[in-house]
Amino acid sequence: MHKTDASDQHTIARNKRARFDYHIIETWEAGIVLSGTEVKSLRLGKANLVDSYAIVTKGEIWLLNLHISPYEQGNQFNHEPTRTRKLLLHRKEIIRLIGAVERQGLTLLPLDLHFKSGIAKVTLALGKGKKLHDKREDQKRKDDERDMARVRTR
């Protein structure tokens, strides 16, 4: 697991559904291979992680369905909004992810997309899908915490 310095990090997009739909087991910070117009569009905050997920193919990690809007001044050099993008991780991390995904049936999903020291990074999580009753329990716990916070502030 990698620790990040909050002052050096600028978040572009978050996947709020990921924590609601999955039990997060472990997280990694991965680099992401982008074209020039994609980086410019990300700097404007034009990204959406809602339906995105990662897969392992031939020893590489690929991010699918990450939507980065086309850059308005991009003309013919613009990118395809939902193209498959390669993620950059160390070989040992990739081998560990392959084992978890293939043997344990876990899912790789992006939690957030951010700039760290000017470089685009994605926080990748290993998650296990929640059942409906788990989601209800989490919602009830959050509602109870919110009610207790309201009572304390009065």
Domain map (residue ranges) of the chain = 10-153
Q: Rounded mean pLDDT of the chain? A: 84
- pLDDT tens sequence across 70-95: 887 766 667 777 788 899 999 998 88
Residue in this structure with the two tokens 């572009």, named with its chain if needed: 12
Fold of 10-153: Small Protein B; Chain: A; (2.40.280)
pLDDT at 1 over 50: no
Q: Is 138 exposed, middle or buried (0-12, 13-18, 19+ CB in 10 A)?
A: middle
The confidence score (pLDDT) of residue 7 equals 57
- pLDDT tens sequence across 90-140: 999 888 888 888 777 788 899 999 999 888 899 999 888 878 887 888 888
